[in-house]
Amino acid sequence: MSICHIVLLVLGLLAAGTGFAMLVGAYDAIFDSVLHSQLQVTEGSRAYDIWRLTPVPLFLRLYFFNLTNPDEFSKGAKPIVQQVGPYCYREYHEKQNLTFHPNYTVTFFQQRWWHWDQEMSGNNTRDDVITIVNAVPISAAWSVRALKPALSSLNSMFNLLGEQLIVKATAGEIIFDGFQDPLLDWMQENMVAENGTLHNITDLLPIPPGLTDYDRFGWFYGRNLSVTYDGEFNMKTGEDNLDELGKIDLWNRRRETDFFDGPCNRVAGSAGEMWPPNLKPDFVDFYSPDLCMTMKLSYKEEKSDSNGLPGYRFWGTNTTFANDSTVPGNQCYCVKGTCAPMGLLNAESCRMGAPAFISFPHFLHADPFLLGQVDGLEPNEDKHAFLMDVIPELGTPMYVAARMQINMRIIPYKGGFLGGKIDILSEVPDVYLPMLWFEEIAEMPPDMASELKALLFIMTTPTMDIIFSTMVLLGAFTVGLLVGLYFCRRK
């Protein structure tokens, strides 16, 4: 045989042998090893780079419920609200103070910050004036609602300071900047020193401890650029097992919290940004420090995003914020004997004693009686549903629309023989009043989508099997042809 024939024979044997080895498992082993190395959250992996500093564009849109009949509401009328917005911010996430541990977990803080986006806000500005109820006196009264003498003392303080039930504040103040309040100002002025340590005189007064930490009130006041606000996370990196990827192990160094009774107080689920690969079409769950609970989203349907990526859609349903009338056992979400109606989460213990109740926007999926309490709400699944689209093969979110509404429980304090009257709250209706709702939107950019589409094409189609089978056939054909020519010439 000539040198050319020998070279072709060797190449044919290599092609056939390599193709056969790949078909019987070598390719799968190599591919899985490479995929594992890139999906695990360890320095140098692709997943680590995306997780540490989120490259996906994030947007926060807020909508306020402007109270249009404040005087009538103060005297017992049904509240009438008008939605105003959106007020839009660009949102950014970065992991800080990372520490990797030998048990394949990583401890970190999540820093988030927001920049105003006037273009996306349209004609709305941060200087728009909104009429709302004042959460400060409402929270203070709620915290001692069962103690008549304490309510009477609180009422005297409200009257002395000129506390108001209805306030007008700008959109920027209500969100991040905060607005001044007479009670908060008074508390800051009455800090007393003892043995070189500052104490608040309100320790002796009927005021929620959470209010003493703030000099202004805003729903997200003190949160912008904070490293510690969301708490300390300890998350599994998936280095030893991708089935554990992204699962939260500890939050603030605990696996259980004091916000709810067991088992509702368990810290479980994902940390909220990634899930193990090969998800099933049933549900995803994640721990939310904002809600102090593990939130579960149910499978809805198969869905493709704007880039053509296929995935599973999960969403919030009537079981997400269900009481025990819908989900037996959920009575552990009751707080101090107060159980929320269907579709509401009692966040009192999570929000420093304030009567805050969380729902989906416009009371979507909630008890219909909540809509009957307020005029001006129109729940719409297309606009108000909590959605998350995930690529099941990778456990990677490709579209998120996280939508929540903050409501205040307002009750009248009429007083009685033992006192307990709050003048500014004596005639208000008993109502769950919507304050604002927001949506955090994240959608995968086209360049990242192109990378994942190529990866999914390899993972979900027999392309490589076809290539390796072709290598085996061509190699075998080449070897057979050369061997046949050799023996023919010998003969």
- The number of C-alpha atoms within 13 Å of 383 and in the hemisphere containing its C-beta is 13
List CB contacts of 60: < 8 A, sequence separation 6 or more. 88, 89, 90, 91, 114, 438, 439, 440, 441
Buried-exposed string 296-310: b where 16+ CB fall within 10 A, e elsewhere: bbbbbeebebebebb
Q: Which amino acid, 198?
A: L
Task: Assess contact for 392 and 97: CB atoms under 8 A.
Answer: no
Q: Which among 165, 188, 60, 82 has a CA at the least distance from the CA of 128?
A: 82
Q: Read out DSSP for 216-245?
A: SB-TTTTTTT-SSTT-EEEEE--SS-GGGT
pLDDT of residue 491: 65
List CB contacts of 119: < 8 A, sequence separation 6 or more. none
DSSP one-letter code for 247: B
Distance CA 69, CA 71 (A): 6
Identify the burial level of 368 via C-beta atoms within 10 angstroms of its C-beta, where 0-12 means exposed, 13-18 middle and 19 or more buried: exposed
Q: Read out DSSP for 437-479?
A: EEEEEEE--HHHHHHHHHHHHHHHSSHHHHHHHHHHHHHHHHH
- Phi first, then psi, for residue 310 (nearest 5°) are -85, 150
Distance CA 187, CA 203 (A): 10
Q: What is the dihedral of CA 330, 332, 333, 335, to 10 degrees?
A: 150
Q: What are the C-alpha distances in Å from 457 to residues 40, 311, 449, 454?
A: 21, 13, 12, 5
pLDDT of residue 467: 66
Mean pLDDT by runs of 10 across the 491 residues of the chain is 62 58 51 68 89 90 97 96 96 95 95 95 96 93 87 90 95 94 84 51 58 82 91 94 92 93 92 90 94 94 87 94 86 86 90 87 95 96 96 91 96 86 95 97 87 70 60 60 64 65
User: Among all chains, which residue has been given the structure tokens 């807020």?
Assistant: 62
The pair of three-digit structure tokens given for residue 107, joined into one six-digit string: 């401890």
Q: Read out DSSP for 343-395?
A: T-EE-TTTTTT--EEEESGGGTTS-HHHHHT-BS----HHHH--EEEEETTTT
The pair of three-digit structure tokens given for residue 181, joined into one six-digit string: 């309040």
Q: Give Cα 399 to chain centroid, integer Å.
A: 13
DSSP one-letter code for 173: I
Q: Give Cα 150 to chain centroid, integer Å.
A: 37
Buried-exposed string 127-157: b where 16+ CB fall within 10 A, e elsewhere: ebebbbbbbbbbbbbbbbbeebebbbbbbeb
- The number of C-alpha atoms within 13 Å of 348 and in the hemisphere containing its C-beta is 23
Q: Where are the beta strands (DSSP E) in 129-282?
A: 129-133, 166-170, 191-194, 197-200, 232-236, 248-251
pTM for the full predicted model? 0.87
Instruction: List the domain boundaries for the chain.
Output: 56-444
Q: Which among 189, 158, 174 has a CA at the least distance from the CA of 65?
A: 174
Distance CA 350, CA 338 (A): 14
Q: Which among 98, 86, 33 has a CA at the least distance from the CA of 59?
A: 86
Distance CA 116, CA 103 (A): 40
pLDDT of residue 27: 43
Buried-exposed string 373-412: b where 16+ CB fall within 10 A, e elsewhere: bbebbebeeeebbbbbbbbbbbbbbbbbbbbbbbbbbbbe
Identify the burial level of 445 via C-beta atoms within 10 angstroms of its C-beta, where 0-12 means exposed, 13-18 middle and 19 or more buried: exposed
The helix, strand and coil proportions of the chain, stated in percent and rounded to the nearest 5, come to: 35, 30, 35
